[in-house]
Structure 1
Amino acid sequence: MTPLEDFAAAVSARAKGRIRGSVALDMPDLGRLYVDETGATESDRDADLTLTATSQVFRNIVEGSQNPTTAVMTGKLKVDGSPMRALKVGEILSAAP
């Protein structure tokens, strides 16, 4: 399993049935995941919301060691779309599946 596939599996566990609409997790150092209520897949598809950060920042959010709101406020996580929606997605990704 590649690092991106491994990350997609972790995100899918949290996102399935909980994400409304679609979100792109753009990791310039690793790749791009398209996430919706069915889970996460590697894809360049357009999404309702795009979050951009390094793969380590996203991994830290999923593992619970990085607060998504703090990541946005410190410039580690960039949001293209609704900031309120981004906060909700961040909560879903950082919560236990």
Structure 2
Amino acid sequence: MLEEIAAQMREGLKDRTFDNTLKFDCGADGVLVLADGTATTDDRDTDCTVTISADNLNKLLAGDLKPTTALMLGKLKVSGDMGVAMKLGQLLA
């Protein structure tokens, strides 16, 4: 499932600039890393890590779950550079 999301994100990143590194940590389902202008499921250290279930990541990317709401409800947790997480909202728009 994360590989499919990574493929969609790679396509979406073609027209956008994201100079930071960000990891979605989906626990046992794996990771999704945005870095170097692309998306991959290869784990690495990043500027910011968002811990979220794969199901909620799908909802977030589909626009069915707002980042702020998810954070307030504990459906996602952010560690590292919060500024990078804030840029994610622009990427999702």
Normalising by structure 1, report the TM-score.
0.82
Q: Could you say what the CA RMSD is over the residues aligned between the two structures, in angstroms?
A: 1.6
Percent identical: 35
Hey, what does 1:61 align to over in structure 2? 60
Structure 1 gaps, min length 5: none
The ranges of structure 1 where at least 4 consecutive aligned residues each deviate by more than 6 angstroms after the TM superposition are: none
Aligned-partner SS, 2:86: helix
- Single out whichever of 82-91 and 61-70 deviates more from structure 2: 82-91
Letter in 2 for 1:66: L
Hey, what does 2:11 align to over in structure 1? 13
Given the superposition, is the C-alpha separation of residues 65 and 36 from structure 1 closer, same or farther in structure 2, using an over 3 Å criterion?
A: same
Structure 2 gaps, min length 5: none
Letter in 1 for 2:55: Q
**Residue 25 of structure 1, CA deviation:** 0.9
CA distance in 1, matches of 2:52, 2:75: 6
Normalising by structure 2, report the TM-score.
0.85
Aligned length: 92
CA distance in 1, matches of 2:81, 2:67: 14
